[in-house]
Amino acid sequence: MIPDSMMLTKQQGGILKTENLLSGRIALHGEIAEIKRVYSAIETSLKHQESSCLVITSSIAGEGKTTMVAGLAAYAAKQPGERVLAMDLNWYSPALHTFFGAELNFDVNRLRNFDSILDIVKPSGLNNLDVFPAVRFNSDHELSFGESEAIAIHLIQKACKEYSLVIVDTSAIYPPNRRMIDPAIISKEADGVAVVALVNATPREDIKRAMKILETAGANILGMIANQWKNPMM
């Protein structure tokens, strides 16, 4: 399925290509061939069984993470027996909620103290798919240093108890920002991470550095998703 010429040499996984079809809402129908291929490859690499957590990240911003998470989640939710949560842990630049017409979470305290993840997720409008929107902060001081990662890990652990597949949208690895949840820390907690890169746009050095960071963090790198969309901003 993945041509040899496209295989990464150092990573465990391969590169999967997406075509230019994944614009926002179309991806949500989850019937696009590229989404299907990406999902199958990820499912195999994850050795997906009862409950898995998949993180989607990228080396720099705007490479198509959120679009991919929405498309994969919508597709996965259509598979027999799957109960899926699309989780936005990109609190620095939240966007996943916009795909599902959901509101951002405003109450950080609620995340410090909840029994079941089911009490704080929102319906996506699609069967077998819930969404956990990002948190909006009023100030940088609402969380102490490292607390957002601790909350994020707790959320993932709780989510895995209720869902067969948790797909996490994260910030890009570069540039680091004090308000963002570190994608490498989140990836280490997950069963696997896939890295989105824009073909002919993302600098190779950035991809290598991002991969190194994930590897050093101890993440299970499933492979890259080569997004062939041409972002006019890059």
Residue 125 CB, nearest approach to ligand ATP (Å): 18
3-state secondary structure of 205: helix
Shortest Å, Cβ 95 to Mg ion: 4
Report the alpha-carbon distance of residue 68 to residue 91 in Å, rounded: 17
Among ligand ATP, Mg ion, none, partner that 94 touches (CB below 5 to 8 angstroms by kind):
none
Does position 66 interact with Mg ion (CB under 5 A)? The reply is: yes
Tell me which residue of 117, 21, 120, 105 sits closest to 71, measured CA to CA: 21
Using DSSP's 3-state secondary structure scheme, residue 70 falls into: helix
CB of 24 to ligand ATP, least distance (A): 5
Task: Look at residue 227 and give the partner it binds from Mg ion, ligand ATP, none, a contact being a CB closer than 5 to 8 Å depending on partner kind.
Answer: ligand ATP
CB of 91 to ligand ATP, least distance (A): 11
Which positions touch ligand ATP (CB under 6 A)? 18, 20, 22-24, 58, 61-67, 90, 93, 95, 172, 227, 229, 231
- CA 114 to CA 208: how far, in whole Å? 38
Q: Of ligand ATP, Mg ion, none, which one does residue 79 interact with (CB within 5 to 8 Å by kind)?
A: none
49 binds, among Mg ion, ligand ATP, none (CB under 5 to 8 A by kind): none
- In whole angstroms, give the CA distance from residue 154 to residue 117: 10
Q: Candidates 13-21, 91-99, 147-155, 209-217 — which segment interacts with Mg ion by CB under 5 A?
A: 91-99
Cα dihedral sign, 62-93-220-42: negative
Q: DSSP for 92-146? A: SS--HHHHHTPPPB--HHHHHS-S-GGGT-EE-SSTTEEEEPPBPPSSGGGS-TT
Judge contact between 167 and 72, C-beta under 8 A: yes
Query: In whole angstroms, how close is the CB of 80 to ligand ATP at the nearest point?
Result: 27
- 18 contact choice in Mg ion, ligand ATP, none (CB below 5 to 8 Å, kind-dependent): ligand ATP
Closest to ligand ATP by CB, 104 vs 118, is 104
Retrieve residue 114's tokens: 């909840």
| Closer of 134 and 166 to ligand ATP (Cβ) | 134
